[in-house]
Structures are given as C-alpha cells and as structure tokens.
Structure 1
C-alpha cells in the first residue's frame, strides 16, 4: 500500500496503481519521443486506455465474486497487469470457475465493442487507435484464458480439477502446468527479445510455485519453500490457495 497511490473507489472497491507504473509511462514517452508531442500524447492515451481495459477486466472478477457474497479488498494496477485482491477462504469449484472466467469475458466483450467502433471508421488494423485497442483487449482475453496457472485459464483448469480430486491435488497439477507454461513463455520471450514477456514468465513461475506451497500449507502438507508461499499471484488474492491479481 505504501508503494501505491489511490485512484479512487469504484463500485465500493479501492482502486490503486503501483508506483512502478511510472516506469511504464516513462517508457511510453521515450518510445514515441522521436515523433514529437502528438506521438507522445497518442502513446500515453493508448497506454492509459489499455490499463483502463485491464481495470475493467479485474472488475469482472471482483463483481462476479461479489455476486457470490465475496468482497474485494482492492484492485491494484502493476506494470504487468492488474490484481483483484479478493477476500475470503477457498472458493468452491463452481464459484472459482465463474470468477476466473469473468475477467476474460469482459475483455472479449470490450474487444467486440471496439472492433465494432473501428469498423465504423473503416480501419480494423492495429495502426488505428480503436483497432489497436480492440486487438489489445482480444489479446488480453485470449492470453488470460491459457491454462497457465495462476492466470485465469489456469484458475478455470484448477476449478474443473477440484470438482473431481479436491483443491490440493488440483492446485499441484495446475501449478505444474503453470510452471511449464512459464518456462515455454520465457524461452520464447528470450529468443524473440521481448523483455516484458520475460518478466511475465518469471512472475508466472514464482506465482505458480507460491500458490502450490500455499495450498500445501492450508491443506496440511507444509510448503516446500516457506519463503515462496507469500508470493503474489494474479487475479484474486484471497488469503488462501485461491486468489489476483491483474
């Protein structure tokens, strides 16, 4: 909290941005500096529009959780995405499935809306502001549906497994798949020189490890590495093996 600033309360939920977000704004300015003030303004506007879409994605999680009587402590914006820090204990599989899939659905709906608006201008390519925003939301929705725990798709995968084998074993399997996906994503990112994607891969690996250790702690096996069980995960953070937080 001391390294973040409040953006206000929406739907009764505190929305904050981490101080490291300043680095993203600086990157946006530097990357468009050669184009002059107009290019800088365009880059900043697009960046803010994308992160507004991320906030909408996280509210999809938070408001769906609220429909099940589960509150959200805050939504935190980070340079690599957002985290909805959802309170409460372990969710039943059906509830976790619904909460996990809600964020990508919001992103896909936004993508459809922006594609529709872009079609009115006759330009659906990423070179047009609306087209670029549509493609960004489509990418956000599809990427988060990948079964790489603890991303949303991994949460959906874990929820489906939990209904058959219980939360501990389901988390172990989902976390293993998530770490393998992180290795694959990291290898691709390094080979293609994508720095941000490399950071996401590292984040996913430690988040999956932390979630597995946290599940072991909650359900009776002690964590393999006590230092890792506190690591932040993606969509919700719920004080248990289930979340972010996004």
Structure 2
C-alpha cells in the first residue's frame, strides 16, 4: 500500500496503481519520442486504454465473486497486469470456475466491441487505435486462459480437478502444470529476447510455487473435502488471492 496510489473507488472497490507503473509510462514516452509530441500522446493514450481494459478484466473477477458473497479488497495495477485481491484463498469448485472465467469473458466482449467499432472505420488492423485495442483485448483474454496456474486458465483447471480430488491435490497438480508452463514460456522469452515475457514467466513460477506451499500448510490443519469448505469454522480464511 505504501508503494501504490489510489485511483478511486468503483462499485465500492478501490483501484490502486503500483509506483513501478511509472516505469511503464517512461518506457511509453521513450519508445515513441522519435515521432514527436503527437506520437508520445498517442502512445500514452493507448497505454492508458490498455490498462483500462485490464481494470475491466479484473472487475469481471471481482463482481462475479461478489455475486457469490465474496468481497474484493482492492484491484492493484502492476506493470505486468492487474490483480484483484479477492478475500479467501479458495472457493468451492463451481464458484472458482465462474470467477476465473469472468475476466477473460470481459476481455473477449471488449475485443468484440472494439472490432465492431474499428469495422465502422474500415480498418481492423492492429495499426489503428481501435483495431490495436481489439487485438490487445483478444490477446489478453486468450493469454489468461492458458492453463498456467495461478492464471485464469490455471484456476479453471484447478476448479475442475477440485471437484474430483479436493483442493490440496488439485492445487498441487495445477501448480506443477503452471511451473512447467512458466518454464516453457521463460525459455521461449529468453530465446526470442522478450524481456517483459521473461519477467511474467518468473512471476508465474514463483506464484505457482507459493500457492502450492500455501495450500499444503492450510490443508495440513484442516479438511481437504470440498463439501466441508463452507461448513469448516473460519473458512474461507481472510487474506486475499490474486487474479
């Protein structure tokens, strides 16, 4: 919280931006500086529009969670994307499945909207502002559906596993798949020289490893039976999760 600034509240949920986001703005300015003031303004406007789309994606998670009576503490914008800090570390499988899918669904809907608007201008290519936003949201939705836990696709995968084998074993399997995917993504990023993708891969590796360790500690003290989740005293535990 000390290293982030509030952007205000929407639907009763505070949205904050991390101080490191300044580096992204600086990168946007430097990368477009050669094109003059107009190029800089265009680059900054597109960056803001993309991260507004990321916020909408996170609100998809947060508002779907609210429909199940689960609160969201805040939405935090980071250089690598957004995080909706939802209360409770685990949900029953059906709820986790729906909450996880909600973000990509919002991204696909936004992509369709921007494709429709760009079609009116006659330019669906990523070289136009609306076309680029359409492709960016399509990529955001598709990328998040990769089964790399703890990304949205990985959480969908865990929800499906949890219904059959309980949250502990499901988390272990989903985390293992997530770390394998992070390793593959990192290898590709290093080979192709994609610095930001390398950072994302490292983040995914540690996040998957951390989720597996957290689940092991939690369920060593409690039940691993999904039917008991809502009946176990103190569950779901407080202390947000990231989407």
1:243 aligns with 2:241: yes
Change in Cα spacing, 1:239 to 1:211, as seen in structure 2 (3 Å) is farther
- What residue ranges of structure 2 are gaps of 5+ in the alignment? 222-236
Aligned residue runs from structure 1 range 97-246, under 5 A? 97-220=97-220, 239=238, 243-245=241-243
> Is the partner of 2:150 in helix, strand or coil?
coil
How far does the alpha carbon of each residue in 1:4-59 deviate from its partner, in whole angstroms, 9 at most, with x for none?
00000000001000000000000000000000000000000000000000000000
What is the TM-score with the length of structure 2 in the denominator? 0.92
Gap change, CA 1:239 and 1:171, over 3 Å in 2: farther
Equivalent-residue separation in structure 2 for 1:99 and 1:66 (angstroms): 9
Q: C-alpha separation between the residues in 1 aligned to 2:51 and 2:211?
A: 25
- Taking the aligned partners of 2:9 and 2:155, their CA distance within structure 1 comes to 26
Counterpart in 1 of 2:61? Answer: 61
**4+ runs deviating over 3 angstroms:** none
| Residue 239 of structure 1, CA deviation | 4.7
Using the alignment, how far apart are the partners of 1:9 and 1:42 within structure 2? 27
Counterpart in 2 of 1:77? Answer: 77
Cα RMSD of the aligned pairs, angstroms, is: 1.2
Number of aligned residue pairs: 228
Give distance in 2, aligned partners of 1:194 and 1:118.
29
* Residue 244 (structure 1) shift: 1.7
1:16 corresponds in structure 2 to: 16
Q: Per-residue displacement from partner, 1:127-150 (whole Å, max 9, x unpaired)?
A: 000000000000000000010000
SS of residue matched to 1:32: helix
Asked if structure 1 preserves the Cα contact closer than 8 Å seen for 2:88 and 2:241, the reply is: no
> SS in structure 1 opposite 2:36?
helix
Q: Is the 8 A contact 2:89 2:241 kept in 1?
A: no
Q: Structure 1 stretches of 5 or more lacking a match?
A: 222-237
| 1:42 aligned onto 2:17 | no
Distance in structure 2 (CA, Å) of the matches to 1:195 and 1:216: 32
- CA shift, 1:89, in A, is 4.9
Larger radius of gyration: 2
Other-structure match for 1:30: 30
**Secondary structure in structure 2 of the residue aligned to 1:155:** helix
